[in-house]
A = this chain, B = another copy of it.
Amino acid sequence: MDVETTANCTCLNLRKASRAVTQFYDEAFKPVGLRVTQFSLLALVANKGPAGMKELAKFLVMDRTTLTRNLKPLIDQGFLVVIKSDDRRQRPIAITSRGRNRLAQALPLWREAQNRVVANLGRETWVGLLQSLSATVSATTHE
């Protein structure tokens, strides 16, 4: 495997796989009208409880302003809301009951897609992939 060949670019291959897998999950979520990005955001807010945008963005390795835009369709549809905070600079995000319902509908679809990917890859390979991805985030992120 030649490190110096542009076809082996780490970023190119990550983005390529990212597109492939996103298409796969988005297809699975069609019946509930969510995209995988939106599902992940809903699940994240549901699990982390009300959270500030900076915290969410940092966890997702996502620019703060990208998160703002990604939240919009979910807030517009009433799945998430901006709540009050003592520190009035913060606008914490919380999930609504509407959001929880939609998430509950989406969960089985997610499980099926996830299980199919793990089965197709083989569990060993999948575990290795997730570990490498985590290491890759660390290897390219400062602070």
* A residues apposed to B, CB below 8 Å: 1, 3-4, 6-25, 36-37, 39-40, 43-44, 47, 60-62, 107, 110-111, 114-115, 117-118, 120-121, 123, 125-130, 132-137, 139-141
Contact A61 B139 (CB under 8 A): no
Contact A21 B10 (CB under 8 A): yes
Task: List chain B residues, Cβ under 8 A from A120.
Answer: 139-140
Contact B43 A3 (CB under 8 A): no
Assembly CA distance A137 to B14 (angstroms): 10
Question: Taking chain A's interface residues, is the majority helix, strand, or loop, or is none over half, making it mixed?
Answer: helix
A-B contact pairs, 17 of them (CB 8 A): A3-B123, A6-B107, A7-B43, A9-B36, A9-B43, A10-B129, A11-B18, A11-B25, A13-B130, A14-B14, A14-B22, A15-B37, A16-B62, A17-B133, A24-B141, A125-B132, A128-B132
Assembly CA distance A110 to B12 (angstroms): 11
Task: List chain B residues, Cβ under 8 A from A47.
Answer: 6-7
Q: A10-B126, A61-B16 are in contact. Are A3 and B137 (CB under 8 A)?
A: no
Instruction: Kindly list the 5 A-B residue pairs having the minimum CB-CB distance in the complex, ordered from nearest.
Output: A120-B139, A24-B140, A129-B132, A6-B43, A18-B18
Assembly CA distance A121 to B24 (angstroms): 27
Assembly CA distance A140 to B116 (angstroms): 9
Task: List chain B residues, Cβ under 8 A from A22.
Answer: 11, 14-15
